[in-house]
Amino acid sequence: MLLCVFLTGIHQGVCQKIPDTVNLPELMIKADARRVHPPVSAMKIPPGILRWNISSDLAGILNDNTVVSVRSYGRGGSASISLRGTMASHTRVLWNGVNIDSPSLGQSDFSTIPVFFQDEIGIYFGTRSLSRVSGGFGGAIAIQNQPSWNDTLTISIRSIAGSFETFHEMLDIQAGNEKFHARTRLLYSRSANNFPFTNYDRPGNPEEKQENAAYSAIGGQQEFYFKPARNQTLTGILMVQRFDRNLPPLTVQSYDGKTEKQEDLLFRSLIRWEANALTSRTIRVQSGFLWSSNQYLNEKAGIDDRNVYRSVPLNLEFIEQLHKNLTLVLGSQNSIQQLESENYAGPVGHHIFSLSSALHYQIATWAGLRVVLREAWVQDGFSPLLPGLSFHVKPMKNHGFYIRGNIAGNYRNPSVNDLYWSYDGFAKGNPDLDPENGYASDVSLAYEFMGPDLTMQWKLTGYYNRINDLIQWQPTGKTGDTWMPENINRVNATGIEASGDIFFNMGAVRTTSFFRGAYTRSTFDDAAENLQDKQLIYTPLLKGNALLKGEYRGYALSWSILYYGKRYTVADNSRYLPGYGISDLSLSKYIQWRTMELVLEFRVNNLFDKEYRVISRHPMPGRNYLFTLSFTLKPGNHEKNQTSMDFTHCNVDRRHILR
Amino acid sequence: MLIAGISCDKDDEPVEVITPANYVGGEGFFIINEGNFGQANGSLSFFNLDNYRLYENIFQSVNNRPIGDIPSFMGIRGNVGYIVVNNSAGIEIVDLNTFESLHHIGGLGSPREILILNDEKAYVTDLAQSGLHILDLISHTVLGTVELGKSSENIILADQKVFVSNWSDYYVPAENNTVQVIDPLTDTKVSEIPVTKEPNSMVRDKNGKLWVLCSGGFMGEEVPALYRINPATLDIEGKIEFSSSDMAPSKLNINASGETLYYLNGQIFRMSIQATEIPSGPFIEYQDGALYSLFVDPDNSHIIASDAIDFQQPGKVFIYREDGSLMKEFTAGIIPGSFAYRH
């Protein structure tokens, strides 16, 4: 998380030297029919923010920079997210277009996805995710890798040391030319994570240290990009990662020396062929192999539980510009999955095949429509045909006002646990479950302005999501002693999101700032009387972020704020965790000498030492520090080329935020 | 608002906020609400029979901290309560007049129930360890264990002996179809009585006989059965089998006179200690699913039952008169799992 200032420092430091009229390189404007049209209900984390959070995980970067509500068990602990008032299982995660959610649970652990391995992180809210994947009532998080064709050789080493014996080591090597590009990323992180905290859950509120909370991650990612012809790209990606973490006791428990831990092993591979015929047709074919192993060990309880998951995805995509105003996108997503767990009677095979189509029609220069249809076959049955409709209007020709609206049906199939959990005396799956179904809708007003020294966007979105036949585990049977999932409830989620992004230059001073705020009302619609109109647990009514950053002659100072309102912890809202606000401060210095770049950064997290809890009985750290040293060597690059590329990043930053 | 939120505000403790209980003591019964595993949202409620008022979250309200993770049982001796907190591996000792915490005993493994033998000594059963914990109630320390070779669940005193049911084989692999007998003077196991799988609850009748209810195993391995044991001779004097291994009877109780047995099998059943067969139908039929826990008030035989509903929201508690008519219904805490009566 520290590294942020480092890279932004680099790029912005260089950007200041360059006029704003430099053209973007080819890679940033590649032909993709969908990019022709204004994105709807989508947001991309700016590359600068992404690099600034390079040592963070996906949960952390989303928490600090978006309206997404993150439920994390703390540093190194597992984390899930809530998008637009929906539940954790209602957000899909796409890795280079492939859904990587655990089929067992139907959701991802966002703490196991390091930012360092990603080049792009985007959020497709609600309706927007439908053309890529189903089940994302809240939306989808898309993480992507992209080549930098202009790089010759770049070697970056980042070393980060921080409080609580926290260390991150990163090596990033890129090499290539206009036809071939290779990139290797290696990561090692570890933390004793033994931060002090006041234990308000014990008599006398003693000062304690977090115990049995150490974690470590080691992994690598290898990417190859090759252009066999001018209009074709072949991509290969391999990712291996091991994540070990001890699971600390609750604040009401004493650590008895017996280990409780979790080990996640991940292997992902992908091969993709993409061809662009002229600028009006794109074909994309990709496949791969995913393997993951999750092991939970509890010495005290004598539990050693291991789950293994394998998947072979095959995705096809065809984009055709039928007419200058009409673009067709056809896609198919196929996934053959196998799971092994003692919790199932035997290996479970799972097959998902879906077809999607989208038609973009640019009615006029000021208005466009997008129609999406999706149909899926899961295991042994077809899902309902899902329609989606989007529009955008730019009512004033010379002003950047936009009105955008979306509505789409959606459904989510039961997870493998929901269906196949074998009876263990306490619980069993329910093969007769229906998929959850419902729809998502939103309307946005946006204003965008781009001037020589001032760029800004303001956006206001209102949304409504409805989920029927919600799957929930509940006691059943004559004696109520067996838990089974049932389709028993409905969720209504409404809310308002507001955001503003401002980039302002004043001489040699360059400023970047944003704020985001969300009001979320998410309730059960079909609940018992005492639960009617009660907010879903751990779904904050209010969440906000803000960032203010200034840069001057290689120095960068940034201040970020995160705010969460109260979060109810019990279904009848009789208990809640109080709201909190925390802020981080960082100072960095960028130094360039010939082909070498050095960035030093000092960062203070939780500047005001605020005591807070994200999840009840799980402490969070107070004020803590991180120091980053980053060294980059570009032996093959001329200075001019480097600055040009860096400027591109700056400019892309701005454009991405404007989305 | 954002900037206000970042200021140092040490007065706001970052813990769950609850409604104050304003507990005043009196005669009534405590409701031990287990809460959800790993969330430490269990609580203690008290229903005051003097004013028919419910006091919720009394421990946290008085002591400004949660009681722990999974409070599962409460023993009472005089004006002192001993609350077993399962997943916090400890016991909270409270003054019942104020509910202020007096002491805490930790390091118990996975404690389930407590039997207070006298002012100085108590036994605590344990789900995950193969022995009974021996507590010194003067020094509030663990003196040692009575080795059983099995985990232990329900515990009761009869004929100067302590009887322990071996209900689970989950954490301690051993046959879970016995009742073990302990001599409290020597803290040693003296005998073991074989019964049907999963003996879960025991009571003593007016004749001093011990009744043991066995559910037959969570996979329905055996037919559930009810045993009558002579605690003096340790002989099994009677065994009544249920009609099907699909049943899972639990929570055996007895009324104030010691003549009528009550148990749960989804609904509330009762039978005389003279009966030779299991009743064919429930005594109190509960229409909204299955009841979770049962307790019969030892003074006036009020029947107290709970419904944990979906195990996420606060559960319901019902008080029935001895004739089965509903006297009172109210909402308590999350998963009302057991009860303790205060005279």
Q: Is the pLDDT of residue A384 over 50?
A: yes
Q: Please report, rounded to a whole number, the percentage of residues in chain B having pLDDT higher than 70.
A: 94
Structure tokens at A431: 């093969």
Give me the pLDDT at residue A506, please.
92
Give CA separation, A480 vs A315, A472, B242, in Å.
44, 15, 18
| Contact in structure between A210 and A613 (CB atoms under 8 Å) | no
pLDDT tier at A43, thresholds 50, 70, 90 = confident
Q: How far apart are the CA of A264 and the nearest CA of chain B, in angstroms? A: 21
Residue B281 near chain A (CB below 8 Å): no
SS3 A111: helix
- Compute the distance between CA of residue A481 and CA of residue A473 in angstroms, rounded to an integer: 12
| Contact in structure between B67 and B333 (CB atoms under 8 Å) | no
Using CB atoms, pick whichever of A253, A563, A576 lies closest to residue B89.
A253
pLDDT tens sequence across A443-457: 999 999 999 999 999
Mean pLDDT in residue range A332-346: 89
Contacts of A1 (CB under 8 A, 6+ apart): A52, A53, A54, A55, A56, A60, A64, A584, A603, A605, A626
The strand order across the sheet containing A98-99 reads A42-44, A120-125, A139-144, A91-95, A98-99
SS3 A331: strand
Q: Is the pLDDT of residue A653 over 90?
A: no
Q: Which residues of chain A lie closer than 8 angstroms to B308, CB-CB?
A: 475, 480
Residue A4's H or E segment, with its range, is helix A3-15
Nearest-Cα residue of chain B relative to residue A619: B14
Closest CA to A169 of A10, A5, A54, A62: A54
Q: Is the pLDDT of residue A515 over 70?
A: yes
Least confident of A3-12, B197-206, B311-320: A3-12
Structure tokens at A654: 């701005």
- Compute the distance between CA of residue A415 and CA of residue B115 in angstroms, rounded to an integer: 44
Mean pLDDT in residue range A187-195: 96
Closest CA to A135 of A405, A385, A435: A435
Q: Is the pLDDT of residue B255 over 60?
A: yes
Higher local confidence (pLDDT), A510 or A532: A510
pLDDT tens sequence across A71-129: 999 888 999 999 999 999 999 999 999 999 998 888 999 999 999 999 999 999 877 78
Please, what's the largest Cα pairwise distance for chain B? 75
Q: Do A515 and B2 touch (CB under 8 A)?
A: yes
A366 DSSP assignment: T
Q: Is the pLDDT of residue A6 over 70?
A: no
Q: For residue A333, is it left (φ>0), alpha (ψ between -120 and 50) or beta?
A: beta
Structure tokens at B316: 């319901």
Give me the pLDDT at residue B192, please.
97
Per residue in A219-258, is it b (16+ CB within 10 Å) or e — as a string?
A: bebebbbbbeeeeebbbebbbebebbbbbbbbbbbbbbee
pLDDT tier at B3, thresholds 50, 70, 90 = very low
Nearest-Cα residue of chain B relative to residue A482: B218
Higher local confidence (pLDDT), A656 or A268: A268
Q: Is the pLDDT of residue A1 over 60?
A: no
pLDDT tier at A533, thresholds 50, 70, 90 = confident
Q: How far apart are the CA of B68 and the nearest CA of chain A, in angstroms? A: 5
Q: How far apart are the CA of B292 and the nearest CA of chain A, in angstroms? A: 7
Q: Do A569 and B41 touch (CB under 8 A)?
A: yes
Interface of A with B in 256-295 (CB under 8 A): 256
| Contact in structure between A507 and A553 (CB atoms under 8 Å) | no
Q: Please report, rounded to a whole number, the percentage of residues in chain A having pLDDT higher than 70.
A: 88
Residue A575 near chain B (CB below 8 Å): yes
Give me the pLDDT at residue A23, please.
31
Rounded to two decimals, the pTM is 0.85
| Contact in structure between A115 and A55 (CB atoms under 8 Å) | yes
Residue A528 near chain B (CB below 8 Å): yes
Using CB atoms, pick whichever of A254, A472, A475 lies closest to residue B89.
A254
Q: Do B40 and A617 touch (CB under 8 A)?
A: yes
pLDDT tens sequence across A228-257: 998 999 999 999 999 999 999 999 888 888
- Give A308-311 contacts, CB < 8 A, sequence gap 24+: A308/A339, A308/A340, A308/A341, A309/A102, A309/A103, A309/A104, A309/A337, A309/A338, A309/A339, A309/A340, A310/A337, A310/A338, A310/A339, A311/A103, A311/A335, A311/A336, A311/A337, A311/A338
Least confident of A410-414, B87-91, B111-115: A410-414
Q: Is the pLDDT of residue A25 over 90?
A: no
Mean pLDDT in residue range A338-365: 89
To probe the interface with B, which of A254, A526, A538, A570 has the most B CB atoms within 10 Å?
Answer: A570
Q: How far apart are the CA of A326 and the nearest CA of chain B, in angstroms? A: 44
Interface of B with A in 206-235 (CB under 8 A): 218-219
Q: Which residues of chain A lie closer than 8 angstroms to B89, CB-CB?
A: 253-254, 256
SS3 A130: helix
Give me the pLDDT at residue A222, please.
98
Structure tokens at A176: 């290539």
Nearest-Cα residue of chain B relative to residue A577: B16
Nearest-Cα residue of chain B relative to residue A302: B171
Mean pLDDT in residue range A420-430: 83
Q: Do A256 and B89 touch (CB under 8 A)?
A: yes
Give me the pLDDT at residue A382, please.
81
Residue count of chain B, please give it.
Answer: 343
Q: Which residues of chain A lie closer than 8 angstroms to B291, CB-CB?
A: 480
Q: What angle do CA A17, A21, A26 make, to 5 degrees?
A: 105
Least confident of A31-40, A312-321, A329-338: A31-40
**Mean pLDDT computed over every residue of chain A:** 85
Residue B331 has a CB neighbour count (10 Å cut-off) of 18
Class of the domain covering B2-342: mainly beta
Mean pLDDT in residue range A175-202: 94
ipTM above 0.90, yes or no: no
Structure tokens at A72: 């994390």
Closest CA to A495 of A531, A560, A443: A443
Mean pLDDT in residue range A426-441: 90
Mean pLDDT in residue range B8-19: 58
Map tokens 């129930």 to a residue.
B113
Give me the pLDDT at residue B13, please.
66
Q: Is the pLDDT of residue A644 over 80?
A: no
Q: For residue A307, is it left (φ>0), alpha (ψ between -120 and 50) or beta?
A: beta
Most confident range (mean pLDDT) of A15-24, A189-198, A325-334 is A189-198
Q: Is the pLDDT of residue A641 over 50?
A: no
Give CA separation, A322 vs A325, A330, A362, B62, in Å.
8, 12, 12, 72
pLDDT tens sequence across A481-503: 678 898 988 899 999 999 999 99
**Interaxial angle between packed helices A3-15 and A639-658, expressed in degrees from 0 to 180 and rounded to the nearest 10:** 110
Q: Where are the domains of chain B?
A: 2-342
